[in-house]
Amino acid sequence: MDMSKPPHIKPCGDAALVIEYGDTVDAALNRRVLALDAYLARHPVEGISETVPTYRSLLVHYNPLRLDYADLSATLLQAAAVSGSDSATGTRWRIPVVYGGEYGVDLAEIAARHRMREEEVIRRHSAGIYRVYMLGFMPGFAYLGGLDPALATPRRDDPRLATPAGTISIGGVQAGVQCLAAPSGWHLLGRTPVRTYQPGREPMFLVEPGDEVTFAPIAADLFAGLEARAAAGEMIAEKVQP
**DSSP assignments along the chain, one per residue:** --TTSPPEEEE-SSSEEEEE--SS--HHHHHHHHHHHHHHHHSPPTTEEEEEE-SSEEEEEE-TTT--HHHHHHHHHHHHHHHTT-PPP--EEEEEEEESGGG-TTHHHHHHHTT--HHHHHHHHHH--EEEEEE-SSTTPEEEE---GGG-BPPPSS-EEEE-TTEEEEEBTEEEE--S-EEE-SEEEEE-S--SB-TTSSSSBS--TT-EEEEEE--GGGHHHHHHHHHTT---SEEE--
Q: What percent of the chain has pLDDT over 70?
A: 97
* C-alpha to C-alpha distance for 28 and 18, rounded to whole angstroms: 18
Mean pLDDT estimate for the chain: 94
Quick one: pLDDT at residue 14?
93
Quick one: pLDDT at residue 1?
47
Q: What is the pTM of this model?
A: 0.89
Q: Please write the tens of the pLDDT for every residue from 78-97.
A: 999 998 776 667 899 999 99
